Amino acid sequence: SAVISQKPSRDICQRGTSLTIQCQVDSQVTMMFWYRQQPGQSLTLIATANQGSEATYESGFVIDKFPISRPNLTFSTLTVSNMSPEDSSIYLCSVRLQGATYEQYFGPGTRLTVT
């Protein structure tokens, strides 16, 4: 497995502002994923972030709203831009370890409230 940390753990932000969430892993990983989990709901994939290439976004998510950086094999950031109350969610990063399996390990999440 892997130890994954996220910063901040929670935040309360005003409408129209942006928040950058950091994800740090204790080992080098090929693939990192960003998810959104709305209150009482399941996990929805926002994008896949590979080191050295642009992130690949899922349907309904765009780079202007959720820009992602992946500068190295242990770190990624997700920015939630021009926030509205509908962006209030838990944002989770996950990693897929190098190797043949498809197991993903999750960070503790960032709880975002937009007022």
Partner 1 sequence: GQQLNQSPQSMFIQEGEDVSMNCTSSSIFNTWLWYKQDPGEGPVLLIALYKAGELTSNGRLTAQFGITRKDSFLNISASIPSDVGIYFCAGQLTTDSWGKLQFGAGTQVVVTP
Residue 32 Cβ, how far from partner 1 at the closest point, in Å? Answer: 11
Residue 37 Cβ, how far from partner 1 at the closest point, in Å? Answer: 9
Binding site for partner 1 (CB under 8 A): 1, 4, 31, 33, 41-45, 48, 56, 92, 94, 96, 101-109, 111
* HEC per residue, the chain: CCCEEEECCEEEECCCCCEEEEEEECCCCCEEEEEEECCCCCCEEEEEEECCCCCEECCCCCCCCCCEEEEECCEEEEEECCCCHHHCEEEEEEEECCCCCCCEEECCCEEEEEC
Residue 107 Cβ, how far from partner 1 at the closest point, in Å? Answer: 5
